[in-house]
Structure 1
Amino acid sequence: MNDRVETPARNVAIVGPYSSGKTTLLESLLFVSGAINRKGRVEDGNTIGDNSIEAKNRQMSVEVSSGYTEYEDINFTFLDCPGSVEFMQETYNALVGAGTAVVVCEPSVSRVLTLAPLFKFLDDWQIPHLVYINKMDRSQDDFMDVLNAIKDVSSRPLVPQQYPIKQDHDIIGYIDLITEQAYHYHQGDKADLVPFPENLKELETQARQEMLETLADFDDHLLEELIEDIEPSKEEILKDLKQDLSADLIVPVFFGMAKEDYGVRPLLDCLIKEAPSPNITAERRGLKTVAHSPVIAQVLKTYYSPQGGRLSLVRVWQGKITDGMTLNGVRVGGIYRLMGGQQKSQNIAQVGEIVALARLEGIKTGDTLTDSEKEIKPLPKANLIPPVYAQAVTAEHRRDEVKISGAIAKILEEDPSLKWEQDENTHEVILWGQGAIHLQVTLERLSNKYNLSMVAQNPKIPYKETIRKSTQVHGRYKHQSGGHGAFGDVYLDIKPLARGEGFQFHETIVGGVVPKQYIPGVETGVREYLQQGPLGYPVVDVDVTLTDGSYHSVDSSEQAFKQAARIAMTEGIVQCDPILLEPVLLVDIFTPNEFTSKVLQLVSAHRGQILGYEGVRDWKNWDQVNAYLPQGEMQDFIIELRSLSLGVGFFNWQYDHLEIVPDKVSHQVLAA
């Protein structure tokens, strides 16, 4: 296309497990490229990435942070994404807008499995990605062992572009497998070109041959050259690497020590030479990259500053955004590039850029933005991760209760993986999230941003009561205090119903012994009593029939018959052998199959009923375990599941049915 718009930009999401060094890598990338003069340190709380109070307090990323730089005439935007599984929704939302992802990991075979959920998401979304093995100075495992472990959790073939040079057990440099040149790391500067270490020639040749053979799987011409022992040109190798990475066919691998800036420059060079341009990424999403196209953009993250200012982090997929433009009927109140907590104003945002737009009221994370008057198809967005951990929360000071709804609305806009609800059974306000730390950070934000202190505790379990026997009972209410009195007289049959049938009321009155106008009062009295039975919980699965009664022509009333019904129920339910019921959830648990046996034991230890398990169809070496679990056993279930599965196990759940509580547990509940 002659009018195709080429954008010299790259937007890169930095992702990886907790503690892999993502924020440190961002500091190094910004420092090496000249965007900052001095690197911050996570432990000092002065990095570009972890700029929020909550992140500094924990020395970990708790939300997406943005940084930008210009290097070799390319405008880079980096998104530093949280690594903790409790904040993975932030990462997934950001990845939707990324052109390329750098997956940061530690050189530990035992930790490689923590990459599996990230690789699954990247592969499902066909997001080009490469691996940067960080902290090579701390490696206890052989480089090839780590590489083979990563291969086991990646559905795309790995293509290492470097081979390590060691001195004793320390990594001191690398061999570039494209150019076959050797380099030693140099403190504070580029790596030094050094003579090729002949003792590594055989190993390097083997690694390079494997790289070429992997590329040849996608290039017939290169395959022919390898068969005929023709040495491919460096240009051809680089071209294949670029094409295959852009198409998400391969995963290039680099390594280094971000804290010392080792291996960071080769990583930057790869992002320049091999990572896809925004135009290629947009066209793969079916969007146009020609001049004068209408704007199509997507919100990746919503921020609220402590002063209340709203910023929407937006990826421009098509067209260009100008200050003051109207998107989705809302006027853009400013365009900014973000450097951590700092903002730099600009007048325009081009295709491929990720910028912050001010004052887009009513626009949510994941929304598709356009200036077109025609209806457009919304861009796909990351699915919301179901909440798995809850706390009941109240304002510490009653005077703050009026502020709760407004503050919570903003918190939910910033973090869509949270859920806020009023439990109709326990009458508690429940905050749902992805784990204990996730909710702690949320409560800290409410305090830091909105001066709203909250108290949290474990939610009450919405137990119910039912009965196991039938009875017939008589209830009479008679009251006289001058003037008209009050009189109601009823006979009730009470019997249990099958589980899940709720409450049924009938009447078999004949001869008008209870006038029709008083019968609704009887039903009301019964229903009011069932709200709290003798064990202290709502009574369910009960059938009550009004069979007989009597009335007084002057003193009877609907209210009197309601009181008579309550008296009858109070006496009768106790005679029906009341028992406690607990809600039981249907839980689908996902885990690497090496932990399946431990998960089965965990379910049994929590009074669960295992329904079965099988391999996940589109996820190699993962199992799905289906089980019934009592809600009363679920409070810390996610914490234990993550503990036994390196943090990667997760579950979905839904309410299924009520079940009788075992006697031992029932005694404990009632005693409490």
Structure 2
Amino acid sequence: KLDREGKDGFDLLDEIEAKLGLNVMPLSWPVGMGQTFQGVYNLFERKLMLFKPHGKQDDEIIEIRDLSDPQLEKHVGKRAAETLREENEILEEVYPDFNKADYLSGKISPVFFGSAINNFGVKELLDCFIQIAPNPLPRTTEERVVNPDEDKFAGFVFKIHANIDPRHRDRIAFMRICSGTFERNTNYLHVRQNRQLRFSNPTSFMAAKKEIVDEAFPGDVVGLYDSGNFKIGDVLTEGEELHFKGIPSFSPEIFRFVENKDPMKYKQFQKGLEQLMDEGVAQLFTREFDGRRIIGVVGNLQFDVIQYRMEGEYGAKVDYEPANFYKACWVTCENKDAFQEFKERRRRDLAVDKDGNLVFLAESAWMLKMAQENHPDVDFHFTSEI
């Protein structure tokens, strides 16, 4: 918001470093601020971009490789030119030259200045990002490593969102392209279901805008209209059976029993819970011995989100009751007899998640510790791969 008065550029950088723990690297620098804001100097490309207040920004860019060039005074005035030169000297002393390897390894965070509401300085950020951003990385599957430069297409679903447009009740599966080229109206193998699917309206999203795409490439994210075929972690390929390493589900920390408030809306309640859990909004556990449903979350706000979306999108009202659990652990065991004994002894403490995996609900840290000691053959997992 450099068209408004605010903190000095150096103070802003110091605050980012102190509060966010980032090593910043300014790649553009403001010329003035507020009433005196005249533009930004692109340190990355050594170019001056002039700002036009109260008007549409144009592409007026003046190449000034050396700030001692008298051209600078001509465009911004003597005082602003002197200030920019002085500040640039400080920048050169404090910050080393930009090193792409340091950026790619996460050691430095580039910073750009501008005025977002006027769409000024944004293009420079995006242009630089295109130049320096990393290429898509190889992805590990259970079978092999998939490289982005492979010819054959492979991608996996990492997010599902229901009712993205409330008027159409659509459900979108977001897929990341890992290799090859994804093409519209082409048959691809849905590995989990072992059947061919074709997509006539693959969509790309940018904020509230969406458009149909004819093809997409490694690193791209495509939205696929879904009638219930997809789960998070599902894979599409040109025919090869691949299973990408799953996205981990972490053990929740806060639990509540969830109940349907209106018996006449049971179908809506069931559908809403199912779809929201598929999205990963929270985790649902169904207790084995009495069938009660328990929602587990990381933060209390998630309960409010579920309640709001259940009523607004599905017309189902939910009630919560406190559930005093300390931890939910996924349990597995290679010894069948030991596992059967565990299940019989701990029947009242067991539930299943939405995918049917067995979960142990510990009421306290002591109870969890005792269960681990009394059943050494049983493995307790605090994450579950989707």
Measured against the shorter chain, the TM-score band is 0.5 to 0.7
Structure label with greater radius of gyration: 1
- 1:314 match: 175
Structure 2 gaps, min length 5: 63-74, 326-344, 349-361, 372-386
Q: Secondary structure at the match of 1:452?
A: coil
Residue 313 of structure 1: CA displacement?
A: 1.1
Q: Say which of 90, 112, 123 aligns to 1:206.
A: 90
Q: Which amino acid aligns with 2:90?
A: Q
- 1:440 match: 304
Could you report, residue by residue, the CA deviation over 1:12-71 in whole angstroms, capped at 9, with x for unpaired residues?
Answer: xxxxxxxxxxxxxxxxxxxxxxxxxxxxxxxxxxxxxxxxxxxxxxxxxxxxxxxxxxxx
Q: Secondary structure at the match of 1:262?
A: coil
Q: Secondary structure at the match of 2:152?
A: coil
- 1:371 match: 238
Residue 267 of structure 1: CA displacement?
A: 1.2
Residue 271 of structure 1: CA displacement?
A: 2.1
Partner Cα distance (1:396, 1:317) in 2? 43
Q: Secondary structure at the match of 1:255?
A: coil
The answer to whether residue 205 in structure 2 is matched with residue 338 in structure 1 is yes
Partner Cα distance (1:388, 1:138) in 2? 43
Q: What pairs up with 1:67-82 in 2 under 5 angstroms?
A: none
Q: Which amino acid aligns with 2:112?
A: F
Q: Which amino acid aligns with 1:150?
A: I
- 1:430 match: 294
Q: What pairs up with 1:349-360 in 2 under 5 angstroms?
A: 349-359=216-226
The 1:391/1:191 distance shift into structure 2, 3 A limit, reads: farther
Partner Cα distance (1:343, 1:150) in 2? 33
The answer to whether residue 256 in structure 2 is matched with residue 395 in structure 1 is no
The 1:141/1:274 distance shift into structure 2, 3 A limit, reads: same
The answer to whether residue 47 in structure 2 is matched with residue 185 in structure 1 is no
Residue 301 of structure 1: CA displacement?
A: 1.6
Partner Cα distance (1:319, 1:301) in 2? 21
Q: Which amino acid aligns with 1:151?
A: E
Partner Cα distance (1:339, 1:201) in 2? 38
Q: Say which of 134, 144, 152 aligns to 1:294.
A: 152
How many residue pairs align between the two structures?
Answer: 309
Could you report, residue by residue, the CA deviation over 1:312-356 in whole angstroms, capped at 9, with x for unpaired residues?
Answer: 111212012232422323413332223556653344333332211
The 1:446/1:170 distance shift into structure 2, 3 A limit, reads: farther
Residues 314 and 355, structure 1, Cα contact 8 Å, conserved in 2: yes
Residue 361 of structure 1: CA displacement?
A: 4.1
Q: Say which of 317, 325, 328 aligns to 2:187.
A: 325
The 1:200/1:345 distance shift into structure 2, 3 A limit, reads: closer
- 2:278 match: 413
Residue 412 of structure 1: CA displacement?
A: 0.9
Residue 156 of structure 1: CA displacement?
A: 6.4
Q: Which amino acid aligns with 1:206?
A: I
Residue 172 of structure 1: CA displacement?
A: 4.8
Partner Cα distance (1:360, 1:397) in 2? 26
TM-score by length of 1: 0.40
The 1:460/1:186 distance shift into structure 2, 3 A limit, reads: same
- 2:322 match: 459
Partner Cα distance (2:207, 2:218) in 1? 22
Q: Which amino acid aligns with 1:256?
A: G
Residue 160 of structure 1: CA displacement?
A: 0.8
Partner Cα distance (1:309, 1:210) in 2? 52
The 1:417/1:311 distance shift into structure 2, 3 A limit, reads: closer
- 1:450 match: 314
Residues 185 and 191, structure 1, Cα contact 8 Å, conserved in 2: no
Q: Secondary structure at the match of 2:265?
A: helix
The 1:282/1:191 distance shift into structure 2, 3 A limit, reads: same
Partner Cα distance (1:351, 1:143) in 2? 37
Q: Say which of 282, 299, 321 aligns to 2:137.
A: 282
Could you report, residue by residue, the CA deviation over 1:542-593 in whole angstroms, capped at 9, with x for unpaired residues?
Answer: xxxxxxxxxxxxxxxxxxxxxxxxxxxxxxxxxxxxxxxxx8644xxxxxxx
Residue 275 of structure 1: CA displacement?
A: 2.4
Partner Cα distance (2:124, 2:242) in 1? 40
Partner Cα distance (1:656, 1:425) in 2? 22
Residues 313 and 354, structure 1, Cα contact 8 Å, conserved in 2: yes
- 1:176 match: 42
Q: Secondary structure at the match of 1:363?
A: coil
Residue 437 of structure 1: CA displacement?
A: 3.0
Residues 29 and 43, structure 2, Cα contact 8 Å, conserved in 1: yes
The 1:365/1:389 distance shift into structure 2, 3 A limit, reads: same
Partner Cα distance (2:90, 2:146) in 1? 41
Partner Cα distance (2:214, 2:59) in 1? 38
Partner Cα distance (2:120, 2:33) in 1? 16
Identical-residue share of aligned pairs (%):
20
Residue 169 of structure 1: CA displacement?
A: 8.7
Residue 302 of structure 1: CA displacement?
A: 1.0
Residues 233 and 244, structure 2, Cα contact 8 Å, conserved in 1: no
Partner Cα distance (1:371, 1:251) in 2? 38
Residue 448 of structure 1: CA displacement?
A: 2.7
- 1:148 match: 14
- 1:492 match: none
Residues 232 and 278, structure 2, Cα contact 8 Å, conserved in 1: yes
- 1:254 match: 112
Q: What pairs up with 1:448-527 in 2 under 5 angstroms?
A: 448-454=312-318, 456-461=319-324
Q: Which amino acid aligns with 2:82?
A: E
- 1:26 match: none
The 1:270/1:423 distance shift into structure 2, 3 A limit, reads: same
Q: Which amino acid aligns with 1:314?
A: M
Q: What pairs up with 1:77-96 in 2 under 5 angstroms?
A: none
The 1:392/1:371 distance shift into structure 2, 3 A limit, reads: same
Q: Which amino acid aligns with 2:276?
A: I
Residue 401 of structure 1: CA displacement?
A: 2.4
Q: What pairs up with 1:3-14 in 2 under 5 angstroms?
A: none
- 2:359 match: none
TM-score by length of 2: 0.65
The 1:179/1:205 distance shift into structure 2, 3 A limit, reads: farther
Residue 162 of structure 1: CA displacement?
A: 1.8
Q: Secondary structure at the match of 1:376?
A: coil
Q: What pairs up with 1:201-280 in 2 under 5 angstroms?
A: 201-211=85-95, 213-215=96-98, 240-241=99-100, 244-276=102-134, 280=135
Partner Cα distance (1:168, 1:445) in 2? 41
The 1:390/1:377 distance shift into structure 2, 3 A limit, reads: closer
Residues 158 and 176, structure 2, Cα contact 8 Å, conserved in 1: yes
The 1:317/1:398 distance shift into structure 2, 3 A limit, reads: same
Q: Which amino acid aligns with 2:221?
A: I
Q: Which amino acid aligns with 2:8?
A: D
The 1:179/1:362 distance shift into structure 2, 3 A limit, reads: closer
Q: Secondary structure at the match of 1:150?
A: helix
Q: Which amino acid aligns with 2:136?
A: T
Partner Cα distance (2:156, 2:363) in 1? 39
Q: Which amino acid aligns with 1:259?
A: I
Partner Cα distance (2:265, 2:91) in 1? 64
